[in-house]
């Protein structure tokens, strides 16, 4: 698998919510600060997204998508003068789905999901994102269209199995949105290293062969760069040295295996490139703050 797919495969959502949100004319919904990541797209109409700390509201129209990593309160409004109403108040009253406000025409409809993630893999992904990601290019809308249409159909006309299908489509939308973001909005952070041909190759090497005795020299040679140039570029883009990243990636794999498999510490250590269980344990504690045995017990 490619590095993004491998990282996403390690993410284990603690909880999720997916579905549709309808806004009628002169309506504003206020959400509190949140954990996890939200990914929603506008199916019809238009609305304004305001996030605490953002200079001005972001206009979202049909086909536009936004991502919100863990962050401050935010609001969706169909008009600038609408009075915000608390999200949980509306949800408790059953006033969020389509056609739930008699006599009022739906002004905007959105679909998407909210995934609460935890662990090293989640931290690596979420720390790479800005406070707000907006995808509004024509090519981005075209790429999201299939999942958006399918999800809208399942939300508006629920059938047996729709809840699971909607959840999977929301996850698909999130992955597509992340891919589009790293393609069109280069910056710094792990996610953006994937858009750099040489750094992406280095990440692929480390992900594909985590047990290999990688050094700066070997990685630089593999990607066709000098040792110094590779080291400088990797740190400038990701914020970490290549060897520190390799250690962190190994620990992510170790965490997954400690929780999901019955493999012994000795086997995990060898398969992640450590000469002994003791060396693995020291590296694990340095990165994770606890021993492998303590981690496996939760």
Please report, for the chain, the start and end positions of each structural domain, with discontinuous segments joined by +: 3-187, 196-296
User: What integer pLDDT is reported at residue 285 of this predicted model?
Assistant: 94
Q: Do 3-187 and 196-296 share a fold?
A: no
- Positions in the chain whose pLDDT score sits under 50: 98-103
Q: What CATH number has the domain spanning 196-296?
A: 1.10.10.60
What is the per-residue burial (b if ≥16 Cβ within 10 Å, else e) of 175-196?
Answer: ebbbbbbbeeeeeebbbbbbbb
Residue 271, pLDDT score? 94
The phi, psi pair for 20, rounded to 5°, reads -120, 155
Q: Quick check: 273 and 250 in contact, CB under 8 A?
A: yes
- CA neighbor of 180 nearest in space, from 4, 1, 33: 4
Q: Is 240 exposed, middle or buried (0-12, 13-18, 19+ CB in 10 A)?
A: middle
Among 2.60.120.280, 3.90.180.10, 3.40.50.970, 2.60.260.20, name the CATH number for the domain at 3-187. 2.60.120.280
Q: What is the pLDDT of residue 195?
A: 81
**Greatest alpha-carbon span in the chain:** 70
Scan for tokens 């914020």, then name that residue.
239
The residue count for the chain: 298
How confident is the model at residue 191, as a pLDDT?
A: 80
What is the pTM for the complete model shown? 0.83
Q: Is the dihedral of CA 240, 241, 244, 248 positive or negative?
A: positive
Instruction: Output the pLDDT for position 182.
Output: 81
């Amino acid at each position: 698998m490619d590095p993004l797919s491998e990282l996403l495969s390690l993410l284990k959502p603690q909880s999720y919510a997916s579905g549709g949100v309808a806004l009628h004319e002169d309506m504003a919904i206020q959400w509190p600060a949140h954990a996890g990541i939200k990914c929603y797209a506008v199916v019809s109409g238009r609305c304004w997204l305001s996030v605490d700390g953002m200079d001005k509201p972001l206009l979202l129209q049909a086909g536009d998508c936004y991502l919100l990593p863990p962050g401050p309160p935010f609001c969706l409004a169909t008009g600038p003068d609408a009075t915000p109403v608390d999200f949980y108040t509306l949800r408790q009253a059953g006033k969020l789905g389509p056609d739930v406000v008699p006599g009022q025409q739906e002004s905007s409809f959105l679909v998407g999901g909210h995934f609460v993630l935890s662990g090293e893999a989640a931290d690596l992904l979420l720390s790479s994102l800005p406070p707000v990601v907006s995808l509004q290019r024509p090519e981005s809308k075209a790429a999201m269209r299939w999942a958006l249409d399918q999800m809208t159909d399942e939300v508006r006309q629920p059938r047996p199995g729709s809840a699971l299908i909607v959840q999977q489509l929301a996850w698909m939308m999130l992955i597509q949105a992340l891919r589009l973001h790293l393609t069109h909005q280069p910056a710094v952070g792990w996610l953006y290293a994937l858009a750099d041909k040489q750094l992406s190759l280095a990440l692929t090497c480390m992900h594909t062969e985590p047990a290999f005795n990688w050094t700066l020299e070997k990685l630089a040679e593999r990607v066709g760069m000098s040792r110094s140039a590779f080291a400088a570029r990797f740190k400038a883009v990701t914020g970490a040295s290549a060897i520190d990243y390799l250690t962190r990636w190994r620990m992510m794999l170790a965490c997954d295996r400690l929780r999901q498999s019955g493999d012994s510490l000795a086997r995990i250590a060898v398969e992640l490139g450590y000469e002994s269980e003791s060396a693995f344990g020291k590296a694990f504690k340095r990165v994770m703050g606890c021993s492998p045995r303590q981690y496996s017990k939760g």
